[in-house]
Amino acid sequence: DPKIIQKPKYLVAVTGSEKILICEQYLGHNAMYWYRQSAKKPLEFMFSYSYQKLMDNQTASSRFQPQSSKKNHLDLQITALKPDDSATYFCASSRDSYNNQAPLFGEGTRLSVL
């Protein structure tokens, strides 16, 4: 059974709309992340959270907003969607941040923006 659950698995959106990507992990990890994978940029770091606090942010656009309602949840809200946002978004987690541990990845949400 997957320990990092991402919903939905597939998502189609229209340009200009807003979507929320859901992520919850049942590994007891304290650090959670979002990564993006597209044909243009294979695997790209977006955000890291530790104990529900933002630790690092690589995303230039404020259209991407992570939301952590619980320690094991890290959702990603994307507003004003553009076709260039089409990608697979991976949530990941590790026991702690700043401890040099390879994160485990969820199965991803495949987003297509038309």
Partner 1 sequence: GEQVEQLPSILRVQEGSSASINCTYENSASNYFPWYKQEPGENPKLIIDIRSNMERKQTQGLIVLLDKKAKRFSLHITDTQPGDSAMYFCAAITGGADRLTFGKGTQLIIQP
Is residue 45 at the binding interface for partner 1, with CB under 8 A as the rule? yes
Work out whether 102 is an interface residue with partner 1 (CB under 8 A).
Answer: yes
Beta bridge partners of 6: 23
- Taking the C-alpha atoms of residue 70 and residue 72, their distance in angstroms, rounded to an integer, is 5
User: Omega of the bond prior to 2 within 30 degrees of 0, cis?
Assistant: no
- Binding window for partner 1 (CB under 8 A); candidates: 15-23, 65-73, 75-83, 92-100: 92-100
Q: Where are the alpha helices (DSSP H) in the chain?
A: none
90 binds partner 1 (CB under 8 A): yes
Residues near partner 1 (CB under 8 A): 31, 33, 35, 42-45, 48, 50, 55-56, 58, 90, 94, 97-108
